[in-house]
Amino acid sequence: MSLTEEEQTALVTSDDPHHPANLICELCRNFYTLGWVTGTGGGISIKKEEHIYIAPSGVQKERLEPHNMFILNYPSLEYLRQPTNLKPSACTPLFLAAYDKGAGACIHTHSQWAVLVTLINKGKKSFKIANTEMIKGIPRPSTGKYYGYHDTLEIPIIENTAHEEDLRDSLAKAIKDYPDTSAVLVRRHGVYVWGDTVWKAKTQAECYDYLFQLAVEMTKLGLDPAGPIDPLEE
Ligand SMILES: CSCCC(=O)C(=O)COP(=O)(O)O
Ligand SMILES: [Zn+2]
Protein backbone atom coordinates (compact mmCIF):
# COMPACT_ATOMS: atom_id res chain seq x y z
CA MET A 1 0.00 0.00 0.00
CA SER A 2 1.65 3.26 -1.03
CA LEU A 3 0.42 6.54 0.42
CA THR A 4 0.45 9.94 -1.22
CA GLU A 5 2.87 12.50 0.22
CA GLU A 6 -0.09 14.30 1.83
CA GLU A 7 -1.30 11.09 3.49
CA GLN A 8 2.22 10.36 4.75
CA THR A 9 2.55 13.88 6.19
CA ALA A 10 -0.81 13.56 7.91
CA LEU A 11 0.47 10.47 9.75
CA VAL A 12 3.16 12.51 11.52
CA THR A 13 1.30 15.81 11.94
CA SER A 14 -0.84 16.39 15.01
CA ASP A 15 -1.44 18.99 17.71
CA ASP A 16 -1.97 16.14 20.16
CA PRO A 17 1.14 15.81 22.37
CA HIS A 18 0.22 12.13 22.83
CA HIS A 19 0.45 11.42 19.10
CA PRO A 20 3.30 8.87 18.63
CA ALA A 21 5.32 11.15 16.32
CA ASN A 22 5.24 13.91 18.97
CA LEU A 23 5.70 11.58 21.94
CA ILE A 24 8.81 9.89 20.52
CA CYS A 25 10.46 13.33 20.23
CA GLU A 26 9.43 14.38 23.74
CA LEU A 27 10.39 11.10 25.38
CA CYS A 28 13.78 10.98 23.63
CA ARG A 29 14.56 14.43 25.05
CA ASN A 30 13.54 13.12 28.47
CA PHE A 31 15.60 9.92 28.06
CA TYR A 32 18.61 11.97 26.90
CA THR A 33 18.68 13.77 30.26
CA LEU A 34 18.75 10.36 31.98
CA GLY A 35 21.75 9.28 29.89
CA TRP A 36 19.65 6.62 28.16
CA VAL A 37 19.96 7.83 24.53
CA THR A 38 23.15 9.88 24.34
CA GLY A 39 25.57 9.69 21.41
CA THR A 40 22.69 8.84 19.02
CA GLY A 41 22.20 5.31 20.47
CA GLY A 42 19.07 3.92 22.08
CA GLY A 43 15.53 5.13 21.41
CA ILE A 44 11.86 4.34 21.50
CA SER A 45 9.27 2.98 19.07
CA ILE A 46 5.50 3.28 19.53
CA LYS A 47 2.70 1.26 17.90
CA LYS A 48 -0.64 2.93 17.26
CA GLU A 49 -3.15 0.46 15.84
CA GLU A 50 -1.52 -0.92 12.67
CA HIS A 51 1.15 1.81 12.51
CA ILE A 52 4.59 1.43 14.06
CA TYR A 53 6.53 4.69 14.52
CA ILE A 54 10.31 4.40 14.35
CA ALA A 55 13.00 7.07 14.69
CA PRO A 56 15.89 7.35 12.24
CA SER A 57 19.24 5.69 12.87
CA GLY A 58 22.40 7.47 13.88
CA VAL A 59 20.83 10.85 14.59
CA GLN A 60 20.86 12.80 17.84
CA LYS A 61 17.75 11.42 19.48
CA GLU A 62 17.18 14.53 21.62
CA ARG A 63 16.83 16.64 18.46
CA LEU A 64 14.24 14.51 16.66
CA GLU A 65 11.27 16.15 14.97
CA PRO A 66 7.94 14.45 14.11
CA HIS A 67 8.62 14.62 10.36
CA ASN A 68 11.78 12.49 10.89
CA MET A 69 9.65 9.42 11.75
CA PHE A 70 9.48 6.23 9.71
CA ILE A 71 6.15 4.37 9.74
CA LEU A 72 5.80 0.63 9.26
CA ASN A 73 2.52 -1.16 8.72
CA TYR A 74 2.01 -4.04 11.15
CA PRO A 75 1.90 -6.94 10.48
CA SER A 76 2.72 -6.53 6.77
CA LEU A 77 5.99 -4.70 7.69
CA GLU A 78 5.65 -2.52 4.62
CA TYR A 79 7.08 1.00 5.03
CA LEU A 80 4.33 3.61 4.71
CA ARG A 81 6.71 6.50 5.29
CA GLN A 82 10.47 6.67 4.76
CA PRO A 83 12.03 10.13 5.17
CA THR A 84 14.64 10.75 2.48
CA ASN A 85 18.35 10.61 3.33
CA LEU A 86 17.64 8.74 6.57
CA LYS A 87 17.68 5.07 7.59
CA PRO A 88 15.29 3.52 10.11
CA SER A 89 16.74 2.73 13.55
CA ALA A 90 19.02 -0.32 13.60
CA CYS A 91 16.85 -1.42 16.55
CA THR A 92 13.84 -1.98 14.24
CA PRO A 93 14.13 -5.83 14.15
CA LEU A 94 14.40 -5.82 17.97
CA PHE A 95 11.38 -3.56 18.37
CA LEU A 96 9.47 -5.92 16.05
CA ALA A 97 10.31 -8.88 18.30
CA ALA A 98 8.56 -7.00 21.14
CA TYR A 99 5.58 -6.14 18.92
CA ASP A 100 5.30 -9.83 17.98
CA LYS A 101 4.79 -10.40 21.73
CA GLY A 102 1.90 -7.93 21.78
CA ALA A 103 3.76 -4.82 23.00
CA GLY A 104 2.45 -1.31 22.37
CA ALA A 105 5.85 0.36 22.73
CA CYS A 106 9.49 -0.60 23.12
CA ILE A 107 12.35 1.40 24.67
CA HIS A 108 16.05 0.73 24.13
CA THR A 109 18.45 2.43 26.57
CA HIS A 110 22.21 2.62 26.80
CA SER A 111 21.94 3.35 30.53
CA GLN A 112 25.26 2.73 32.27
CA TRP A 113 23.34 0.97 35.08
CA ALA A 114 22.05 -1.58 32.54
CA VAL A 115 25.56 -2.08 31.20
CA LEU A 116 27.07 -2.42 34.69
CA VAL A 117 24.45 -4.93 35.82
CA THR A 118 25.48 -7.17 32.91
CA LEU A 119 29.12 -6.86 34.01
CA ILE A 120 28.51 -7.78 37.66
CA ASN A 121 26.68 -10.86 36.34
CA LYS A 122 29.73 -12.06 34.43
CA GLY A 123 29.16 -15.37 32.62
CA LYS A 124 25.51 -15.49 33.74
CA LYS A 125 22.49 -15.75 31.44
CA SER A 126 20.28 -13.62 33.68
CA PHE A 127 20.19 -11.01 36.43
CA LYS A 128 18.09 -11.60 39.57
CA ILE A 129 16.81 -9.29 42.28
CA ALA A 130 14.35 -9.85 45.15
CA ASN A 131 12.80 -8.21 48.22
CA THR A 132 12.75 -4.70 46.73
CA GLU A 133 9.75 -2.36 46.51
CA MET A 134 10.33 -1.28 42.89
CA ILE A 135 9.92 -4.89 41.68
CA LYS A 136 6.20 -4.19 42.13
CA GLY A 137 6.27 -1.96 39.03
CA ILE A 138 6.99 -4.93 36.76
CA PRO A 139 4.14 -7.01 35.26
CA ARG A 140 4.18 -10.80 35.47
CA PRO A 141 2.06 -12.04 32.51
CA SER A 142 1.76 -15.65 33.77
CA THR A 143 -0.17 -14.43 36.83
CA GLY A 144 -1.99 -11.55 35.12
CA LYS A 145 -0.65 -9.39 37.98
CA TYR A 146 2.54 -7.56 38.92
CA TYR A 147 5.56 -9.02 40.75
CA GLY A 148 5.26 -8.95 44.53
CA TYR A 149 7.76 -7.48 46.97
CA HIS A 150 9.15 -10.90 47.95
CA ASP A 151 9.24 -12.33 44.42
CA THR A 152 12.49 -12.85 42.54
CA LEU A 153 12.58 -10.87 39.31
CA GLU A 154 14.79 -12.48 36.65
CA ILE A 155 15.87 -10.65 33.50
CA PRO A 156 17.68 -12.50 30.69
CA ILE A 157 21.08 -11.29 29.51
CA ILE A 158 22.11 -11.83 25.89
CA GLU A 159 25.59 -11.29 24.43
CA ASN A 160 26.22 -8.20 22.32
CA THR A 161 26.95 -8.41 18.59
CA ALA A 162 28.96 -6.11 16.35
CA HIS A 163 25.74 -4.89 14.69
CA GLU A 164 22.53 -4.07 16.58
CA GLU A 165 20.23 -5.81 14.07
CA ASP A 166 22.09 -9.12 14.60
CA LEU A 167 20.73 -9.24 18.16
CA ARG A 168 17.26 -10.12 16.90
CA ASP A 169 17.50 -13.93 17.06
CA SER A 170 18.99 -14.06 20.55
CA LEU A 171 16.51 -11.45 21.79
CA ALA A 172 13.61 -13.44 20.33
CA LYS A 173 14.97 -16.61 21.98
CA ALA A 174 15.29 -14.84 25.35
CA ILE A 175 11.68 -13.65 25.07
CA LYS A 176 10.61 -17.26 24.36
CA ASP A 177 12.74 -18.75 27.16
CA TYR A 178 11.59 -16.17 29.75
CA PRO A 179 7.86 -15.78 29.05
CA ASP A 180 7.36 -13.52 32.09
CA THR A 181 10.00 -11.02 31.07
CA SER A 182 9.34 -7.52 29.73
CA ALA A 183 13.03 -6.68 29.36
CA VAL A 184 16.19 -8.15 27.87
CA LEU A 185 19.64 -6.94 28.92
CA VAL A 186 22.39 -6.85 26.29
CA ARG A 187 25.84 -7.33 27.78
CA ARG A 188 28.13 -4.28 27.53
CA HIS A 189 25.39 -2.48 25.58
CA GLY A 190 22.09 -1.70 27.36
CA VAL A 191 18.54 -2.96 27.68
CA TYR A 192 15.32 -3.41 25.70
CA VAL A 193 12.09 -2.85 27.69
CA TRP A 194 8.57 -3.11 26.33
CA GLY A 195 5.04 -2.65 27.64
CA ASP A 196 1.41 -2.83 26.64
CA THR A 197 1.32 0.95 26.22
CA VAL A 198 3.93 3.66 25.91
CA TRP A 199 3.27 4.75 29.50
CA LYS A 200 3.63 1.22 30.85
CA ALA A 201 6.86 0.79 28.87
CA LYS A 202 8.17 4.08 30.32
CA THR A 203 7.21 3.17 33.89
CA GLN A 204 8.79 -0.26 33.54
CA ALA A 205 11.97 1.17 32.01
CA GLU A 206 12.24 3.50 35.02
CA CYS A 207 11.66 0.65 37.50
CA TYR A 208 14.21 -1.57 35.74
CA ASP A 209 16.80 1.21 35.66
CA TYR A 210 16.28 1.87 39.39
CA LEU A 211 16.71 -1.87 40.10
CA PHE A 212 19.87 -2.06 37.96
CA GLN A 213 21.42 0.87 39.84
CA LEU A 214 20.38 -0.58 43.18
CA ALA A 215 21.88 -3.97 42.31
CA VAL A 216 25.18 -2.40 41.25
CA GLU A 217 25.40 -0.35 44.44
CA MET A 218 24.36 -3.33 46.63
CA THR A 219 27.03 -5.49 45.02
CA LYS A 220 29.64 -2.80 45.71
CA LEU A 221 28.60 -2.98 49.39
CA GLY A 222 28.94 -6.77 49.41
CA LEU A 223 25.15 -7.30 49.48
CA ASP A 224 23.40 -9.86 47.25
CA PRO A 225 20.52 -8.22 45.29
CA ALA A 226 18.74 -11.59 45.07
CA GLY A 227 19.52 -12.60 48.64
CA PRO A 228 17.09 -13.01 51.53
CA ILE A 229 16.28 -10.18 53.92
CA ASP A 230 18.87 -10.13 56.70
CA PRO A 231 16.97 -10.51 60.05
CA LEU A 232 19.43 -8.05 61.62
CA GLU A 233 18.18 -5.33 59.29
CA GLU A 234 14.80 -5.22 60.98
C1 LIG B 1 26.48 4.85 19.39
S2 LIG B 1 25.07 3.97 19.02
C3 LIG B 1 25.53 2.39 18.35
C4 LIG B 1 24.39 1.58 17.82
C5 LIG B 1 23.34 1.31 18.87
O6 LIG B 1 23.60 0.66 19.87
C7 LIG B 1 22.01 1.83 18.74
O8 LIG B 1 21.20 1.71 19.65
C9 LIG B 1 21.70 2.49 17.45
O10 LIG B 1 20.45 2.96 17.37
P11 LIG B 1 19.96 3.77 16.09
O12 LIG B 1 18.51 4.00 16.41
O13 LIG B 1 20.72 5.06 16.03
O14 LIG B 1 20.16 2.94 14.87
ZN1 LIG C 1 21.92 0.20 21.19
List pLDDT tens digits, range 88-102.
999 999 999 999 999
Distance, CA of 173 to CA of 71 (rounded, Å): 26
Q: What are phi and psi of 145, to 5 degrees?
A: -125, -165
Q: At 141, is the secondary structure helix, strand, or coil?
A: coil
- The rounded Å distance from CA 79 to ligand 1 centre is 20
40 C-alpha to ligand 1 centroid (Å):
6
Q: Which of 7, 65, 133, 159 is catalytic?
A: 133
Could you tell me the distance, in angstroms and rounded to a whole number, from the CA of residue 7 to the centre of ligand 2? 31
Mean pLDDT within 38-60: 98
Q: Based on the residue annotation, tell me whether 78 is a catalytic residue of this protein.
A: no
pTM of the model: 0.98
**Averaged pLDDT score across all residues of the chain:** 97
Nearest residue (by CA) to ligand 1, atom 3, is 41
Report the residue among 91, 96, 107 best suited for mutation to probe ligand 1: largest number of ligand atoms under 8 A from its CB. Answer: 91
Q: What are the C-alpha distances in Å from 136 to residues 14, 96, 109? A: 35, 26, 21
Quick: pLDDT tens for 1-43: 789 999 999 999 999 999 999 999 999 999 999 999 999 999 9
14 vs 21, 77, 91, 93, CA distance in Å? 8, 23, 25, 27
Q: Which residues contribute to the annotated binding site for Zn(2+)? A: 108, 110, 189
Model confidence pLDDT, tens digit, residues 136-171: 999 999 999 999 999 999 999 999 999 998 999 999
H/E run at residue 44: strand 43-48
The reported pLDDT for the residue numbered 23 is 98
pLDDT of residue 1: 74
Which residue's C-alpha comes closest to atom 11 of ligand 1?
Answer: 57
Q: Are 95 and 45 in contact (CB under 8 A)?
A: yes
State how far the Cα of 212 lies from the Cα of 138, in Å rounded to an integer. Answer: 13
Gap between the Cα atoms of 192 and 184, Å rounded? 5
| Stretch 46-71: mean pLDDT | 98
Residues with CB under 6 A from ligand 1: 39-43, 57-58, 89-91, 108, 164
**Annotated binding-site residue numbers:** 91, 108, 110, 189
CA–centroid distance, residue 234 to ligand 2 (Å) = 41
Instruction: Report, as an integer, the average pLDDT of 198-203.
Output: 98
Asked if the model's pLDDT at residue 234 lies above 90, the reply is no
Give the residue among 111, 75, 100 at the shortest CA–CA distance from 192.
111
State the ligand closest to the CA atom of 111.
2
| Tens digit of each residue's pLDDT (9 = 90 or more) over 201-219 | 999 999 999 999 999 999 9
- State the Cα–Cα distance between residues 127 and 121, nearest whole angstrom: 6
Helices 92-99 and 168-177: crossing angle in degrees, nearest 10, is: 20
pLDDT for 197 beyond 80: yes
Residue 173 has pLDDT above 90, yes or no: yes
